[in-house]
Amino acid sequence: MSDGPEHLTLARHGYLVGREVGRLAYGCWRLPETPQEALAGKIDAALEVGANIIDTAAVYGAGEAERMLGALLAERSSLRDEIVLVTKGGITPPVPYDSTKRHLIASCEASLTRLNCEAVDVFLIHRPDFLTGAAEVAEAVAEIVASGKARSVGVSNYTLEQTRALQSFLDIPLVVTQPEFSALHTDPLDDGTLDYAQGASILPLAWSPLAGGSLATGRVPDRADLRATGLVAVLERIAKDNGSTRECVALAWLLAHPAGVVPIIGTQSPERIRAAAGAFEIKMSRRDWYEILEASRGAPMP
């Protein structure tokens, strides 16, 4: 029996589409909350902390997030090569989902126009569309890659079986899976997502890694969710031990998982983006990690 390392390893780099990427990503969902002029400062802060994966989607701000990013890319031609650009298609409010071949190809083309670039690095199916078969989705993404509009493809909010079904129709590998994953939303630990990702060398990008801010503020929108109270207290205790913050501990908890999870941070504050790098400094023991999970579940491990 091994005692294991005293503290869990938090690697700063991973790999995606053959490129070295930072273990933090920056997400564009909330970009339209602040004006265009503020965007460069956020992207610079992200790059400073190694967050070179930039995650966006056609549906964010009804295209506005991509337009904002596209305006910055047009202004700074060197930026495109500094980032690994991820976008998504397939959410069509109020339908709400459409992953037909016709729609996904048109969506990717419209994203490229807004983003002012010729190709994205990864195109993701944003959410599973129950009315489009895996074979058709596979045809769509294969064509998107074959036509040079995306260098690679992946999925978001897909179950393990949905991912497997899609992969079974593809000759190219899915390279990203993007589940909701945080110390408050721990399903990917148990539903096979992170195990499959390891076996298939898929990079897991964790969305809402601070549970949309709840783990930072300690406030949970769903007040019936009492688990958060104990969880926030445990995060607080570990933060104190480290002279750090709950946010950094919550990010470190994701970074410590062996699947190489990349949390997508979503703050609009350049200072908070920079502060997220403090996650790599957290000394987290095996017991600390499980204590967070137990607090989240409201029960000791079996």
Ligand X SMILES: NC(=O)c1ccc[n+]([C@@H]2O[C@H](COP(=O)([O-])OP(=O)(O)OC[C@H]3O[C@@H](n4cnc5c(N)ncnc54)[C@H](OP(=O)(O)O)[C@@H]3O)[C@@H](O)[C@H]2O)c1
Q: Which residues are catalytic?
A: 60
Q: Does the protein bind ligand X through residue 29 (CB under 6 A)? A: yes
Q: Does the protein bind ligand X through residue 216 (CB under 6 A)? A: yes
Question: In this chain, which stretch among 141-149, 191-199, 261-269, 290-298 interacts with ligand X, using CB under 6 A?
Answer: 261-269
Q: Does the protein bind ligand X through residue 41 (CB under 6 A)? A: no
**Is the Cβ of residue 3 or residue 93 nearer to ligand X in the bound state?**
93
Task: Choose, by CB under 6 A, the member of 10, 16, 51, 55 that binds ligand X.
Answer: 55
Q: Does the protein bind ligand X through residue 211 (CB under 6 A)? A: yes
Two structure tokens written together for 8: 């869990």
Kindly state the smallest distance separating residue 91's Cβ from ligand X, in Å: 8
Task: Choose, by CB under 6 A, the member of 107, 178, 193, 244 that binds ligand X.
Answer: 178
Kindly state the smallest distance separating residue 218's Cβ from ligand X, in Å: 9
Two structure tokens written together for 299: 């029960």
Q: Does the protein bind ligand X through residue 66 (CB under 6 A)? A: no
Task: Choose, by CB under 6 A, the member of 156, 177, 193, 244 that binds ligand X.
Answer: 156
**Is the Cβ of residue 254 or residue 295 nearer to ligand X in the bound state?**
254
Q: Does the protein bind ligand X through residue 218 (CB under 6 A)? A: no
Kindly state the smallest distance separating residue 6's Cβ from ligand X, in Å: 28
Q: Does the protein bind ligand X through residue 204 (CB under 6 A)? A: no
Question: In this chain, which stretch among 130-138, 143-151, 190-198, 260-268 interacts with ligand X, using CB under 6 A?
Answer: 260-268
- SS3 sequence of the chain: CCCCCCCCCCCCEEEECCEEEECCEEECCCHHHCCHHHHHHHHHHHHHCCCCEEECCCCHHHHHHHHHHHHHHHHCCCHHHHCEEEEEECECCCCCECCCHHHHHHHHHHHHHHHCCCCEEEEEECCCCCCCCHHHHHHHHHHHHHCCCEEEEEEECCCHHHHHHHHHCCCCCEEEEECECCCCCCHHHHCCHHHHHHHCCCEEEEECCCHHHHHHHCCCCCCCCCHHHHHHHHHHHHHHHHCCCHHHHHHHHHHCCCCCCEEEECCCCHHHHHHHHHHHHCCCCHHHHHHHHHHHHCCCCC
Question: In this chain, which stretch among 144-152, 187-195, 209-217, 224-232 interacts with ligand X, using CB under 6 A?
Answer: 209-217
Report which residue type is found at 246: R
In 3D space, the residue among 51, 68, 23, 62 whose CA is nearest the CA of residue 280 turns out to be 23
Q: Does the protein bind ligand X through residue 90 (CB under 6 A)? A: no
Interface with ligand X: number of residues (CB under 6 A): 25
Q: Which residues bind ligand X (CB under 6 A)?
A: 27-30, 55, 156-157, 178, 207-213, 216-217, 247, 264-269, 272
